[in-house]
Amino acid sequence: MALGSNGEAGLREAARRLAAALDAASMAEWSRDYERIFGHSVQSAAPPYELEYGEEHSHRQPQELGDIAAFYQAFGLRASFASHERVDHIATECEFLHYLLYKHACAVDEEAAEHAQVCDAATRQFLADHLGRWGPAFCLRLSRAAGSGIEGAAATMVLGWLSQECARMGVPLGSCDLPLRSPTEQDAVGCAACALPQGKPANGC
């Protein structure tokens, strides 16, 4: 889908702002902003991990991480071992959606209707169960923490894209006000992530 189609001019403008911010910022400035926002712990100003959002449910963490990994594996994706990230990282989930859209476009180009339907179904389910549910809350926290600059422009861009995709697929967009889990649950998530077998997708499918 082209940026700005179907009247979504705001998404095109968000992409323009992000490109301009990338051109203007130095690597040193970008690094300082990244460390200020994300820090060196999971519980940052804008945690980039899905399982940090929503009600406390430690007993469900291994199952949810396994569910996300299963989506990736169903399409033959494996992690980069150098990434050292959990499967619920925002970059990994966005990259998976990008892959599904690419596969869908290829299927349409090859007139493979059944393959296109499989990609559509996976996109709809992944948005409903995962990225479309918690992504808006992450974007709002990132926008508030970043202000102007690359991270703030990226937050606007991602939220616009998620809104457009959820509307296109008929999936309700998640709340921007999802609470963060309490810090007491952090160790449980870390252990659940370590329990996943090697080769499951992490950041960088």
- pLDDT tens for each residue of 27-77: 898 889 889 999 877 778 899 999 999 876 556 678 889 999 999 999 999
Nearest one of 134, 102, 131 to 119, comparing CA atoms? 102
Torsion 56-94-135-147 (CA) sign: positive
* Contact present, 151 and 34 (Cβ < 8 Å): yes
Q: What is the pLDDT of residues 129-142, one digit of tens each?
A: 999 999 999 999 99
Angle of helix 150-169 relative to helix 113-126, nearest 10 degrees, comes to 120
pLDDT, tens digit (0-9, with 9 covering 90-100), for 78-133? 767 777 788 999 999 999 999 999 999 999 999 999 999 999 999 999 999 999 99
Question: Which fold would CATH assign to domain 7-195?
Answer: TorD-like (1.10.3480)
What six digits make up the tokens of 29? 């400035």
- The confidence score (pLDDT) of residue 60 equals 67
- Spatial distance between the Cα atoms of 113 and 121, rounded to a whole number of angstroms: 12
Tokens encoding 4:
């700005």
